[in-house]
A and B are shown apart, each in its own frame.
Chain A
Amino acid sequence: MSDAVLEVRGLTKRYGAVHALKGIDLTVRQGSIYGFIGPNGAGKTTTIRIVAGLVRATEGDVLLHGVDLRKDRLAAAKGLRTLVEVPAFYGNLSGQANLEIFARLAGADRADVARLLERVRLTHAKDRAVRGYSLGMRQRLGIAQALLGRPDLVVLDEPMNGLDPAGMHEMRELIREENREHGVTFFLSSHLLDDIQRLCDRIGVLHKGALVAEGRIEDLLSSAVTGFRLRCADPAAARAVLVASLPEAKARLDGDGTVHVAGDASILPRLHRALLDAGQPVVEMYPVRASLEAYFLDLTEGVMG
């Protein structure tokens, strides 16, 4: 049996002549934290809106636990919770009353409301009307509503928006804890690549409506080698050899006594040959991998989200 919580197959969305999504395929596995990144206008929120049932796909399927969302929404969306963009609440009602409304919708009990208010540190403000809440408090209340009733899959669109550094740290801890202790699967979209790298096991990179990369972060970054660090008996001599024979490698001496060369694995045969011919064999070699940010910028042509 498949352990996929969310499967998106050939998801396409057109708004007239605008092709917002161009046949996206992705899979989110049970118990994982999946990061969904892309520049503004890439189609992240459209994808999330389709998963949330707010927008209908032009083509393609969204399956939750193998059940087609369009064919059997009641069964498919049972364990699904979402937070799309800025959380909104009934401003004239208190934080607790709002959560009670969402708890009723989710079939959760009142104890869950109290637990989550405590967990997102809003117990002190639970009786205040939400219209008086700051953006950060609303965001925390939004996360709390998304966790009501022990969901299987929580889809969060920019969950760190409006949070201060301490709030962001807390939010990361909350997501990790719910994932680790309660097995909740998360699907997060975020502009904060550092958060994505720290939290997620897998990512999907969306650009101009197409999924341009998907997989485990380590695997994606391991394929994104930007250069190598070499340890040789005489680093200065080795550098001189490489500058003369492989100028495109832009060899330089680093402070730790290694020689840094730029390029991918295709330069390695020529590099080894040049150094061996010069009597400077490589003792140790480490690949230099791109950061997620560099990888993202490379994939999206330098368009930051």
Chain B
Amino acid sequence: MSALARVGRLVRVEAQKVLGGRGLLVGLVAVAGVTALTGWTHAPDSGYETAWTRTAAALGAGLWAAEIFLLVAGTTTIAGETAGGTLKMILPHAYRRSDWIVAKALVLAAQAVVLLATAVAVAATCGALSGGLGDVTRTTDELGLSMAPETLQAGGAMTGYLTQSALVSLAALVTTAWVGLWISCLFDAVVPAVSTGFLLFLGFKSAGTLFGAGPEVLESIYAWYPGAMLDRLEDLGKALNEAWREGMAPRGLRLSAIVAAVSLAGSLIVFTRRDLQS
């Protein structure tokens, strides 16, 4: 059997396990719920609300929920099977350990796609229900006369920015899950794996707040980009005189790709060399 066929078979096995459990369903409900609730209750700090501000804020919240879900899914994917004893049941079959890592990584990536698609769909629905995702305009009164609305951001451009943000978010979600997978290969128990994952992720995500990291440091962390891009999208939606930073998406994608590749390589190295005693 070729490597592709082996991995394909293991992907189906992993998918059967994920779909047979309730974990993904809980994740989907949580992401959809958090996204919808934020879109529904969102109150902008500047007092200026548009469909775009609701959409950006809702997607940002949904992204947090998805990140947490995937962090848990990633950090438990090997450690959970080791602790539960199922790893010793599946590993003796005629597959390479690297086949298992690749299959698990692909299924985690697929879960990231599903969760993000859910968050984007719910966030866009919130936007559509609160005035529609069209142009961002501002109407000013001068000398008691109402002027013609001024278009600050075209709807098409905003949709493009949302798409960029979603792509970078997807890359960051997959990366977070794969970082979790790497951590998972290091532990035989769930609690230390998940705890380590959370500590690392909080460090990535909140380096500015926790460590007072400056912009240069933050811009070198893959996990910073989705939130920063959605914040910028929200600012544009508020009709603030901001400009989209074109370099954010490629840089965010590049950083995510590097961290994801290192995590996958780390998982392969650790998992293929370790003894499984549990």
Contact = CB atoms under 8 A, between A and B. Distances in A.
Contacts of A1: none
B95 interface: yes
A82 B6 CA distance: 20
B84 A92 contact: no
Contact of A77 (B90, B92, B276, B277): B92
B20 A77 contact: no
Contact of A78 (B85, B94, B276): B94
Given A55-B276, A74-B94, A93-B20, A88 B85 contact: yes
B2 to A, nearest CB: 11
Nearest to B22: A92
Contact of B13 (A78, A83, A104): A104
Nearest to A157: B88
Contacts of B90: 102, 105
Contacts of A52: 88, 91-92
A74 B20 contact: no
A215 to B, nearest CB: 27
Given A54-B275, A74-B95, A104-B13, A86 B20 contact: no
A108 to B, nearest CB: 11
A86 B16 contact: no
A39 B245 CA distance: 69
Contacts of A93: 17, 20-21
B16 A97 contact: yes
B16 A87 contact: no
B276 A74 contact: no
Interface in A13-48: none
Interface residues of A, number: 35
Nearest to A93: B20
Contacts of B16: 97, 100-101, 104
Given A54-B92, A102-B89, A104-B16, A90 B21 contact: yes
A49 interface: yes
A90 B276 contact: no
Given A101-B17, A104-B13, A105-B13, A90 B86 contact: yes
A63 to B, nearest CB: 15
Interface in A43-89: 49, 52-56, 73-78, 80-89
A88 B86 contact: yes
Interface in B10-27: 10, 12-13, 16-17, 20-22
A5 interface: no
A88 B88 contact: yes
A48 to B, nearest CB: 10
A90 B17 contact: yes
Nearest to B99: A74
Contact of B95 (A84, A88, A92, A105): A105
A1 B88 CA distance: 32
B89 A104 contact: no
B96 interface: yes
Contacts of A100: 16
B142 to A, nearest CB: 65
A145 B90 CA distance: 10
A251 to B, nearest CB: 53
A90 B238 CA distance: 49
Contacts of A85: 85, 88
A216 B89 CA distance: 30
Closest 5 CB pairs of A and B: A88-B85, A52-B92, A77-B94, A54-B276, A82-B92
Interface of A: 49, 52-56, 73-78, 80-93, 97, 100-102, 104-106, 142, 145
24 contacts: A49-B276, A49-B277, A52-B92, A53-B91, A54-B275, A54-B276, A54-B277, A55-B276, A55-B277, A73-B94, A74-B1, A74-B95, A78-B94, A80-B94, A88-B86, A88-B88, A90-B21, A90-B86, A93-B20, A93-B21, A105-B9, A105-B13, A105-B90, A145-B89
Given A52-B92, A74-B1, A102-B89, 11 more contacts: A54-B275, A54-B276, A80-B92, A84-B88, A86-B85, A89-B89, A90-B20, A93-B21, A105-B93, A106-B93, A145-B89
